[in-house]
Amino acid sequence: MRMFLNECEKLIKAGLKSDYLCMTQNRVFLKGKLELKEHITQNLIHKERFFTSSDEYTQDITPNRLIQSTLHILSRLSLSPSTQTKLDSMRFIFADISSSENIESDFIKCNNMGRAKEYKMIILWCKVFLGQKAFSPYVGSDKAIAFLFPMEKLFESFVGFWLKKCAKGFEVKTQESRKYLLQDENKNNIFCLKPDIIMRSKDRIITVDTKWKIPDSNSSEKKYGISQSDLYQMWAYASKYRLESKKVSAVLIYPQCERTKDIEELWKNKKCRIQ
């Protein structure tokens, strides 16, 4: 959404395009060509009006209407304050532009218009939000922007969400930073400990770190590809949180896949386990 709004902002800075459109309207003054048939039909009683058509230079054109429709769709969503502010400012600028009455037809018109290059990317975004196109890994003539996600953060968020939903009897917090490893000579806390996830029940604490990597049962050192520094880190978590509760567990969570089955069987029912 941010990317769409950024494209919208760039377009406004470059200048919204205008064009001549034939505007047909029942007016209180004579402007343009009098449409006699419609004038008689519409104004048999209202002699003070004129049903006319005229060519007018306006920003209320097809591509701008598609953008207005997209802004209207986005206004229904729950957004962060900064994104909402940006969206509101875009909607204010487009306030005098109509929404599209026939989205599919208007996209076809845009393809045939050969509209200026400033509109190419934002029209693609409009297609995405208005349901005309989705991003795809296949090659095509359309240009799109690749979405890159830090998978370790995505995995951590997924596990945290799942635990909050399923871990009955536990209070689940993510990125808690209440403990420190050491104190300096002035008794100031240093080296903040920040487990990915902390789970608390009445008598137990579980510290959880998620790892977006696959343990390797064929590791030559028989450490299963588990980092020694990760284990030291979990030991530090357990040591500090044991001051808060006698029952403390430290857990590393890895993605489950075919390659982890051998390790799961190896550690099954053992005190130190792979999860």
The stretch 124-136 carries a mean pLDDT of 74
CA distance 119 to 2: 17
Whole-angstrom distance, CA of residue 26 vs CA of residue 77: 37
Average pLDDT of the segment spanning 224-251: 86
Cβ distance 215 to 230 under 8 Å? Answer: no
> Cα-flanking dihedrals φ and ψ of residue 69, to 5°?
-65, -40
As a whole number, mean pLDDT of residues 195-199 equals 92
Band of the pLDDT at 97, cuts 50, 70, 90? very high
Query: What pTM was computed for the model?
Result: 0.47
pLDDT attached to residue 275: 44
User: Which residues are paired to 174 by β-bridges?
Assistant: 197
Complete domains list, the chain, with CATH: 2-18+59-129 (no CATH), 151-267 (3.90.320.10)
Q: Which pLDDT score, from 0 to 100, does residue 138 have?
A: 47
User: Above pLDDT 70, what percent of the chain?
Assistant: 85
Helices (H), the chain: 2-14, 36-42, 62-74, 81-93, 103-113, 120-129, 151-166, 228-241, 261-267
At 154-192, the pLDDT tens digits run 899 999 999 999 988 999 998 888 888 888 888 888 888
Decide if pLDDT at 69 tops 70: yes
Listed residue (232, 165, 174) closest to 198, CA to CA: 174
Tell me the C-alpha to C-alpha distance, in Å, between residue 93 and each of 47, 56, 167, 254: 37, 20, 48, 48
Q: Tell me the CB-side half-sphere exposure of residue 257, using CA atoms within 13 A.
A: 9
Worst-scoring range by mean pLDDT, 8-17, 67-76, 114-123, 154-163? 114-123
Query: What value does the mean pLDDT take over residues 55-70?
Result: 88
Compare 19 and 265 and report the one with higher pLDDT.
19
pLDDT at 156: 92
* Average of per-residue pLDDT across 193-215: 90
